[in-house]
Amino acid sequence: MPLIGLLPAGVHRAVLRVAEQVRRRWWRLRKPTLRGVAIAAFDDGGRVLLVRHSYRMRDEWHLPTGGCRRGEEPMEAGVRELAEETGLRAGDVREIGTDCFNLHGATNNVTILAIRAQGEARADGREIREIRWADPRALPPSVPQWARGYIEQAAG
């Protein structure tokens, strides 16, 4: 377990918020190329999993997302991130497409995955502060447009 995992949850969340601001500034200066995943996880009833990150500046519902580690394929990263962020296991995993955009100065290459989720979803209280399942046709208003588009592609 990383040392940060030994911190009390409230302190961990505060560190994540500061780290997010530092990371954004670093990306504006360095302009790196990133590889990541966005996960549209569905339950057996066809609902999509939404999360609220503790470190985001806006109070929005998002899809689980994360970066690919060095040498890690996107499908592996998606399965790992889903388990780390929500405790869910991945059943069927499909690559839906890719997206490339500017993320605070970095070039972000994202692989969009559709995953059939298995198990009981839980927020870790650190990176993820809240989880909910939603009907893909009736998403909460705070779901950003990019996430809506990924969900539509994955549900299609």
For residue 66, the domain's CATH number is: 3.90.79.10
Query: How far from 124 is each of 9, 30, 86, CA to CA, in Å?
Result: 9, 31, 7
Give me the tens of pLDDT residue by residue for the chain, a chain 156 residues long: 455 567 787 787 777 776 767 777 886 788 878 899 999 999 999 999 999 998 776 789 999 999 999 999 999 999 999 999 999 999 999 999 999 988 788 888 999 999 999 999 999 888 899 999 999 999 999 999 999 999 999 998
Structure tokens at 147: 């996430």
User: According to the 3-state scheme, what is the secondary structure of the chain?
Assistant: CCHHHHCCHHHHHHHHHHHHHHHHHHHHHHCCEEEEEEEEEECCCCCEEEEEECCCCCCCCECCEEECCCCCCHHHHHHHHHHHHHCCEEEEEEEEEEEEEEECCEEEEEEEEEEEEECCCCCCCCCEEEEEEECCCCCCCCCCHHHHHHHHHHHC
CA dihedral 99, 105, 107, 113 (to 10 degrees): -40
Q: What is the largest CA-CA distance in the chain?
A: 44
Question: Which structural domain, as residue segments, surrounds residue 132?
Answer: 3-155
Phi, psi angle pair for 47, to nearest 5°: -80, 150
Assigned token pair, 67:
């970066």
Q: How much is the pTM?
A: 0.83
